[in-house]
Structure 1
Amino acid sequence: MLDIRTGLKLRLMSLILAVFSVLLSNAAYADMVRLKDIGKFSGWRENALVGYGLVTGLANTGDSPNNKATRQSIANVLAQFDVAVQPDLVLSRNVAAVMITAKLPAVAHQGDTIDVTVTSIGDARSLVGGTLLTAPLKAPNGKVYALAQGALFVGGYKYDLNGNVAQKNHPTVGSVPAGGIVEVAVQARILRPDNTMVFTLSDADFTTSSRIAAAINKAFGETLAKAQDAEGVEIRVPEADREYLVDFVTRIEKLSIEPDTRARVVIDERTGTIVSGGDVRIAKVVVSHGDLKLSIITDNSVSQPILIRNTGAEIRTETVSNSRINVSERSETGYVSASNNTVADLIHALTRIKTNTRDIISILRAVKAAGALRADLIIQ
C-alpha cells in the first residue's frame, strides 16, 4: 500500500515538474520575435504608379460640360477610333475624368495583376456603375509599368432630388480589384555590388541591432554580420551562398531574437485613448486629484408695463437678465500612492476612484513632468 502511494506521489511530482518546465520554456520564448517581423532588407520596397483615365457608363453623374479637360479627353479617345468630334460638341454627363493610383510590388512578373484606386478630379457627383477605360500607369521615371481597366467598385452612393441629398461615404472614389496588369517585370535588388546586404529595423535601436548581428554570426558559425548603426545591420554573403541567395535570406529571416524596446506611453487627446506597455514603471509618486465644476446660468425675463393704455416715450417693454453662478466641488479628493508600480497599476487605481479618461491623461502628464514616469510620453 505504501509503495502505491509513494509511486503516485513520485508521478505527481514528475508531472508538476514537467508542467513547470513547460511554463518556463514558454516564458523564455514569449518575447522572441523573427527577424522577418521587425525589419526588412534594404532595397525591398513597393513602387508607386499613377495614371490618368476616363470612367464611362455613369448615369448622368459624371463631369459637367463645363469641364474642358473631360471633353478634350473624350474627343481624343474617339479620335483613336476614327470618330472626329470637336471637344466643344461633347455634352455628355456619363463620363468622368479620374486619376488612377496603384502600388507595384517589389517583385512582379509580366501578366501579374494589382489592385488600382480611382479618384475623380472633375465635378462628377458619383462614380457608381462606371467602367474604367484602358489607361497606362507610370512610375516617377515616366515609364509605363502597368495598364488599368475594369468595372469600378464604389463603397458609397449619393442621390439628390429637389434639394434632398442622401450620401454614404465618398462616391467619387472607387477601386478595381485586380484591375491592373503588369506589363514590365520588376525585381528588387537587395544584394549590393560588394556582395553585402543591409537589414534595416522598423524601429531603430542600438541594442536590437547588436543582438541581430550576434544571432546571425552564431547561426552561421562565422562573422558575417556587423551592426552599422541603430537601424542597419550589414551582412556579408559568402561566395558559396551567392547562387542560392533566396535560401540564404530565408535562413536569416527565420532567426529569432528578443528585441529591446523603449518604454512608451501613447496618448491621443482627441479620442481620450491611452496605450501603454504593461511593464512601464512609475517611480514613487503621490497623486491627489479633485474635481471642481463651475456653471453660469442666465435667466432672461420680460418686464411688461402695468398700464398698457398709458404709453409714451418712457414706457416700454424691457428684457431683464438674471445670472447666477453655481460652484460644486466633489467632497472627497482622489488620492493614489504609487510605489514602484506600473502605468497599468496607476490607471487601474484611478479608475477605481471613478476618474475619467481626460483627467487620467492630465495626471499622466503631471507624473511625467514630476520625473516619475520612466517612459517616453507621446501625445498625439
Structure 2
Amino acid sequence: MFLGQPLPDLDPAPGRSGARPRLRVVVAGEFRSGKSSVINAILRQPVLPMLSRQASRPAFLVRHAWEGAGAVLLHHGSGGTEQAAVLDETTDFGGAGLCEVLVKAPHIEGVELVELPFPCDGQVGDEARALMAGADLLLWVSIASQAWRLSEKAILSQLPPMRERAVIVLSRADKLRCASDWDRIEERVQREAGPHFAAVAFVQAARETIRAAAADDHAWATSGGQILADLVAERRRRMAPETPSLPADPPHDTHRASRAVAARRQEIEQVAASLAGLVCGGLTGPDGGCLAFGPERHRAAQLAPAIRSYIDGQGALEAAAGAAVEETTLRLGPHLLLVIRPASSGLAFLLLRQDRTNMALAQTALRRIAADGLPEA
C-alpha cells in the first residue's frame, strides 16, 4: 500500500496469452528533483504535469494501453475508483492515494512506471521504502548540479543492497554550463554513489524537448529518455524466463522496427566492447536519429549534430579535391574522434581515450559498425 492505497494488480494485456508479469520501475527522489520529467522523457510525451501542491499529490502509476489510452484513474484508500476528466496542474485528486494513467507508448509495453511523491521535509515512510526496495528497477532522481547530497545517501542507506537494479538519474542536465561539468559531476557521482547504483544517466527534459521527442529520435536521445528506456528494456530481458512465450505482434509495425533497432544495437555493442578506451560512439541514419552506445553514450547524442555540422562544413575541401570526405580523425584534448561517412545520409563515429586506444583496431571496429547502417524505422 502507499498513502493507504494498494497499487492495482494489473492483468496482462487483453488477448495476449502467455504475457509476462509487468516490470515495476519505481522512480523516486527528493522533493522537486525532476521525477515527473524523467517519466515524461521515457514516455516521449509530456504526460505527467509539474505539480507544486505537495500536500495533495498522489503517487502516479503510468502504463501502456492499446485501448483506453488517455484515461486517468484515481484510486482512493476506501477502495473506490473514479476517472478524472483531465490530468494537468489544475486536477483535483480528491485525496486519492494513487493516480493511474494509461498512455499509448508501445515501447514500454509490459512495464509500469511508478512515481513516488516525497515530502519536502525529507521524511520517507516505511511504505515508500518498501516500494523502492521491492522495485524491479529503481531510478533515483537527483538534480545534476547538486547531485548525491547527504540526505539522499541517508535514504538509500536504509534500503537493502540493490545496486544491480538501481540507476541514479541526474536531472536538469541542460542547466549545466559545459561538457566538462558533465564529466566532473559524473566522475564524482560514480565515485561516491557507486556502491548504490550500477549506472549513472543524465536527463535534460525541458517540456519543449519532450514534445519534440514524440516524433524526433534525436530529440529523444538528447533528452536522455532513450537511454533510460533502453535500460528498462534490458532489465526486462534479464528477468524474462529462459523460454518466454512471444506475444502476438501489435496492430502496428512499430514493434518490428524496434526489434530491428535493438538487434542492431546488440551487434554494435558487441563490437564496441572489444575497444579499450572507448568513451562513446554513435551511428546516425538519414533522419538524423542517433543510435548511441558505449560507457558514456549520453554524450553521443550531443556529439552527433556537432559532427554532422563539421562534416557538412567540408564542402570547399571536397570541391577542391573532387571527392567526398569519407574518414576523419580529430585529436580533442585527451581524446580521439574517429568519423566515417558510409553514405551521404549517415555517419558513424567513436570517441576514444588516446592513451588507451589501438588505432588500427578502432578503425576496423568503426568500419564494421558503419557497414550495415541503421535499420529503417
Larger radius of gyration: 1
Higher strand share: 1
Higher helix share: 2
Normalised by the length of structure 1, the TM-score is: 0.22
Normalised by the length of structure 2, the TM-score is: 0.23
